[in-house]
Structure 1
């Protein structure tokens, strides 16, 4: 009976040691999973903040685009009114119509000609090197 109790005690001690080891292993696994969960939550929080910021930027750009489209529409309307007014004036006045259809004088055309510039400095250099306008008679 002593042997049997000793064997039973040894078996219970072995089971206790195994359950203790398993408990520690599960505790470590739980801590590791909690750390991973915390990291995942931090990543999700950062991603949510980034998504929110991008949505705000998108809304700002959409509002800016709408404002630009409205400004463009207004400018197109003004241009159309200006063209209609000019056409009306040309239709009313033969003298103005004849003047409008004549070409510009060569001196004026020459004033409008300039080379293509790639840098602002090129334009300034061209201005300083160009000939002065002739004096009027």
Structure 2
């Protein structure tokens, strides 16, 4: 039973997403390809890297990446080639520049706005509400009688 469970866990492991026929003969080049593919998003699986995904598009991207590296591209050139074809969405960790600054800053800005709103709300609740005008003698007498009962 333990062996069956171990076999199931290993079969579901993302280490087996890269097929043997995709791997490069040069171990250093293969290591570069694996490192780069960990930072590229599978466009089918969304939050998986192409290194972890078993989707056919992820396989195509892995093969394309290995072809570019075999052709002599640097890591940056290979990634730029894929980004030029598929857009910045293919990057699991997009660059913090240009229009992406809005996305990078949105979280902290919303946290500051929520904190400021909470602070203003709690501060407003702490203040005693003063009456618009003082009580008349008749109202003071009525209030005194209510409080005595």
Relative to the length of structure 1, the TM-score reads 0.30
TM-score scaled to structure 2, two decimals?
0.28
